[in-house]
Amino acid sequence: MNGLRIALAATLVLGPGMAALAQDAGTLDKDKAARSAAKPAYSPYVGRNFPTRPLFGDTHLHTSFSFDAGAFGARLTPRDAYRFARGEEIDASSGQKAKLSRPLDFLVVADHSDNMGFFPDLLAGKPELLADPTGRRWHDMIHSGKGAEAAIEIIVAFSQGKFPKALIYAPGTSAYRSAWQETIKAAEAYNDAGRFTALIGYEWTSNTGGNNLHRNVIFRGNGTQAGLVEPFTTFPPAGSDNPVDLWKWMAATAEKTGSEVLAIAHNGNLSNGLMFPTVEAFGKKLDRQYVETRARWERLYEVTQTKGDGESHPVLSPNDEFAAFEKWDKGNLDGSVAKTRDMLEFEYARSALKNGLRLEAQLGTNPYKFGLIGSSDAHTGLAAMEEENFFGKTTPQEPSAERMTKTFFANAKAGVTVMDWEVSSSGYAAVWATENTREAIFDAMKRRETYATTGPRMVVRFFGGWDFERSDANNRLPAAIGYTKGVPMGGELSPALQGKAPTFLVAALKDPIGANLDRIQIVKGWVDKSGAVQEKVHDVVWANADTRKPGANGKVPPVGTTVDLANATWTNTIGAPELIMTWTDPDFDPALRAFYYARVLEIPTPRWTAYDAKRFGVKPLPGTTMMLQERAYTSPIWYSPAK
Amino acid sequence: MTRVVPKLKALLREPMVQFLAAGAGLFLLFQWGGPPAGEPGRIVVSASQIEHLTVGFTRMRQRPPTESELGGLIDDHVREEIAAREARRLGLDRDDTLIRRRLRQKLEFLVEDDGQTASPSDAELQAWLDAHPDAFRRDPDVAFRHVLVSRARRGRAAEAEAQALLTSLTALGPGADLSGLGDPLRLLPDEVELTPRRDVAALFGETFADRVLGLPPGRWAGPVESGYGVHLVLVTQRTPGRLPALDAVREQVVRDVLGARRAQRLEAMYQRLLERHLVIVERPIPPRAARAATR
């Protein structure tokens, strides 16, 4: 990572190579340069080293430590998951070999907290425990190969109330070894600062009535800190299914451990209207405390993953021809209750971002001011989300001739059926961290300098400010100009200057082994004068612009396709390897709250179902989606009117 | 019958018989329903169990439970105990995939952990490091300049254009001014400082990284292929991948040595258990063989 940093300070004290910058700054003479070097810079990013590439990872992976993953047949442990993510070849639970095209930069093994519970410990030879005669005897049994017998004795003693007091109370030791401790140990073992980051975390799996309110919780700190607490579960009275209680746990944990934590919700599409409430939650009216607390702890949202894409929905965004992508909109998580239209508004990210602006006006804080990431939610221990290398969501969905023709789950009473082919090979989190460490990655997540991808590793930059000009798109270092003149994705625009509209600099570079890009769009959401939420999708820059002009409806025509489904191939003869542009909001009203985020689309490529059809010679079921346009969604940049 | 009964009674009074009967009884009891917590029909929530519930709650919530919360925990514990007993009595724990897999996991945890106690010696660590150099070798670093000739822009002419550009660049030398040359991409730096191989691969692709690492420094070379087109590359600096000393990678080597031990222990446990059992696998006779057998 070190070599790819570019010292911003050096570029500002101009040298001969920086022809483009000198052009923008006008004529520079020695005195001017001396004066600007002497003054402290206005922009907070001056002098800051910034990375040239984002870090790619998965914040939501399950292993055999999750009850449901194990039930499905997953045999891989957190250690196996880290080895795979680092780029090693391993044996998947289905017995076949698996390897990523290239390593990921970070991983969070986030197994379900409810199943990480207690069971009698294997005494690790700690002196306090050995001082107790029973403890000593068990220790010796274990170390002479009689561990199983010792365990039974321990269980019996415990259930008969004969467990030695000393062994429960020994300070600094937990008499109960749990999957949580093993999870922490695995993360510590594979965390390799500067090369690969293993963040500690778990999934809080609130699921009452089958309505998904899951959050992944991630620690900034190390194993010693995380080991001071137990993950929050959903069983009362210790646990709860209410996010408000999870936030209380987070506050207490941060206090107790000295480690910051954050929570990332996902699958609003399976919450049946409960994920992004605007009036009441769990029987309590939304109030200042709710919105402030939510905003404090939930800085990101996992907008795309194997159980569907959650950016927006055709019903909510009828003018967005890309909103129908990988939709899971039939019901809740277990299919027990079917979806009704009125639920949708409270389930999708774009809608929540809009409603958040309204709630800010109402209650003083925007509870839905979240950045965006993607992750897998794979229950296989394998963060394998590339279309041509997709290892499924569950072990029965690992590559096989049967995996695209079976039913995933069906609830006849509710009329909800989800087929295996509907599972998405998606996604990953891209983080603009200053280095590959826990702290830097966590901090980038906290400031929302992240974006979601549906699998490919395109490089995306998005900056907002008041002074970007067309010539900035020709700059040799868009990030340098971006950080100097504006704020990056996830940031907040400074108050409007008289007569000015927000300007943006957006750039995307294709995945080095991936498909060309179709276009970059900027999605604007705002609250209008009457207090109603609005949205508009703008095509900002697109490939093959000489032959593609916006039509009568203002829309840029489709980029076309080079996909050969029978052979599961495509060619980069359409689209462009890189797109970059500046854009100014043509409809800006400084009195109205707004957000802007960038959406980058690739040219069409085969979906995992097409690779399967070719490799296994299987005929897909009628209606199976066989190709797709992969995409990235950046975290928004927000604008608030001056108070 | 009358003469048998006194004899039976005498027998039953024998301590040895009583002992054997008790043992058999316990054996049957344990086989049947697992260790009972108190007499059947009686549930005791002991002080240490209450302590355990309290400790668990406190570790999760960072505060002890209130009276009513503790009451709730105890109630739930009792219900769980009753339900678990009843479920076992009904044989619900048999043939339950989830329970079996969880039991297997717990057993494997126990056995795996045995390996945690003795730290590997330096000699053992060094031997592992020597035997697995590729797993620990540090990435080589490379610094380079490059000019891209875009396939998207030039199509089939890209190679020829690249060759021509190579000639010009060679003439201009290592310090050539690159502005205006080729088809630069804004998000791909054209001057790359000393960087580990994996970061070059992440940005340019694996094949590009491998090729560049093989180029002799100090002169323009190419064309080198990437997903973006063909590049002319000048390597300015290179440091070879080196095998680190044990101290630099001690943690990772310990991890791998303990990991191998863990796997060995697990395998040994399965072998030990297998030795105690006779395994009979009933396989259906394939139709062809069955027909042959009846001829």
pLDDT over 60 (residue A12): no
* Half-sphere exposure in the Cβ direction for A492 (13 Å, CA): 10
Query: B223: cis peptide before it, omega within 30°?
Result: yes
For residue A392, is it within any domain?
Answer: yes
Q: Are residues A292 and A330 part of one domain?
A: yes
pLDDT, residue B1, reads 42
Q: Are residues A81 and A29 part of one domain?
A: no
pLDDT, residue A68, reads 81
What is the C-alpha to C-alpha distance for residues A454 and A379, in angstroms, rounded to an integer? 17
Q: Are residues A505 and A420 part of one domain?
A: no
The whole-number average pLDDT for the span A604-620 is 97
The whole-number average pLDDT for the span B8-37 is 51
Predicted interface score ipTM higher than 0.90: no
The whole-number average pLDDT for the span B89-103 is 85
Enumerate residues 6+ apart whose C-beta is below 8 A from B286. Answer: none
Given A79, A122, A514, which is nearest B110 (Cβ)?
A122
Phi/psi at B68 (5° precision): -70, -35
For residue A450, is it within any domain?
Answer: no
pLDDT, residue A205, reads 92
pLDDT category, A154, cuts 50, 70, 90? low
pLDDT over 60 (residue A219): yes
Structure tokens at A619: 């005929």
Enumerate residues 6+ apart whose C-beta is below 8 A from B43. Answer: B37, B78, B81, B82
Question: How far is A128 from chain B, CA to nearest CA, in Å?
Answer: 15
Q: Are residues A422 and A513 part of one domain?
A: no
- Going by the DSSP 8-state scheme, the letter that residue A389 receives in this structure is G
The answer to whether the CB atoms of A163 and B59 lie below 8 A apart is no
Given B59, B72, B227, which is nearest A237 (Cβ)?
B72
A456 close to B (CB below 8 A): no
Q: Are residues A40 and A7 part of one domain?
A: yes
Question: How far is A578 from chain B, CA to nearest CA, in Å?
Answer: 7
pLDDT category, A488, cuts 50, 70, 90? very high
The residue segments making up the domain with residue A632 are: 458-643
pLDDT category, A560, cuts 50, 70, 90? very high
Count of CB pairs separated by less than 8 Å, A with B: 201
User: Which residues on chain B are in Cβ contact (under 8 Å) with A158?
Assistant: 48-49, 52
Fold of B139-239: Chitinase A; domain 3 (3.10.50)
pLDDT, residue A434, reads 94
pLDDT over 60 (residue A234): yes
For residue A550, is it within any domain?
Answer: yes
For residue A438, is it within any domain?
Answer: no
Give the A window 143-162 contacts with B, CB below 8 Å.
143, 145, 147-148, 151-152, 155-156, 158-162
Question: Rounded mean pLDDT of chain B?
Answer: 83
What is the C-alpha to C-alpha distance for residues B132 and B126, in angstroms, rounded to an integer? 10
Enumerate residues 6+ apart whose C-beta is below 8 A from A51. Answer: A1, A4, A5, A432, A433, A434, A435
More confident residue, A34 or A326: A326
Domain range list for chain B: 25-94, 105-137+243-289, 139-239
A27 close to B (CB below 8 A): no
pLDDT, residue A264, reads 98
What is the distance of C-alpha A436 from the center of its chain? 17
pLDDT over 60 (residue B73): yes
Q: Are residues A163 and A22 part of one domain?
A: no
A192 close to B (CB below 8 A): yes
Q: Are residues A223 and A102 part of one domain?
A: yes
The whole-number average pLDDT for the span A400-405 is 94
pLDDT, residue B9, reads 61
Max CA separation in chain B (angstroms)? 122
How many distinct structural domains can be found in chain A?
4
pLDDT, residue A6, reads 42
Q: Are residues A620 and A579 part of one domain?
A: yes
For residue A42, is it within any domain?
Answer: yes
Structure tokens at A76: 């891989």
**Percentage, residues of chain A above pLDDT 90:** 73
The whole-number average pLDDT for the span A361-371 is 97
For residue A107, is it within any domain?
Answer: yes
Helices and strands: H and E segment counts in chain B: 13, 4
Considering the entire predicted model, what is its pTM? 0.85
pLDDT category, A360, cuts 50, 70, 90? very high
For residue A636, is it within any domain?
Answer: yes
What is the C-alpha to C-alpha distance for residues A118 and B187, in angstroms, rounded to an integer? 49
For residue A277, is it within any domain?
Answer: yes
pLDDT over 90 (residue A156): no
Q: Are residues A499 and A393 part of one domain?
A: no
Question: How far is A96 from chain B, CA to nearest CA, in Å?
Answer: 19
Q: Are residues A393 and A284 part of one domain?
A: yes
- Going by the DSSP 8-state scheme, the letter that residue A343 receives in this structure is G
What is the distance of C-alpha A184 from the center of its chain? 21
pLDDT category, A115, cuts 50, 70, 90? low
User: Which residues on chain B are in Cβ contact (under 8 Å) with A17?
Assistant: 177, 179
CA distances from B155 to A542, A573, B190 (A): 19, 9, 21
The answer to whether the CB atoms of B61 and A252 lie below 8 A apart is yes
Mutate which of B46, B50, B52, B61 to disrupt the A interface (most A C-beta within 10 Å)?
B61
Give the A window 243-302 contacts with B, CB below 8 Å.
249, 252-253, 255-256
pLDDT over 50 (residue B111): yes
Span B175-219, pLDDT tens digits = 999 988 999 999 998 899 999 999 999 999 999 999 999 999 999
Phi/psi at A109 (5° precision): -85, 115
Q: Are residues A406 and A284 part of one domain?
A: yes
Q: Are residues A185 and A134 part of one domain?
A: no
B121 close to A (CB below 8 A): no
The whole-number average pLDDT for the span B73-83 is 92
Across chain B, the runs of DSSP E, i.e. the strands, are 141-150, 191-196, 220-226, 229-239
pLDDT, residue A147, reads 53
Question: Rounded mean pLDDT of chain A?
Answer: 87
A399 close to B (CB below 8 A): no
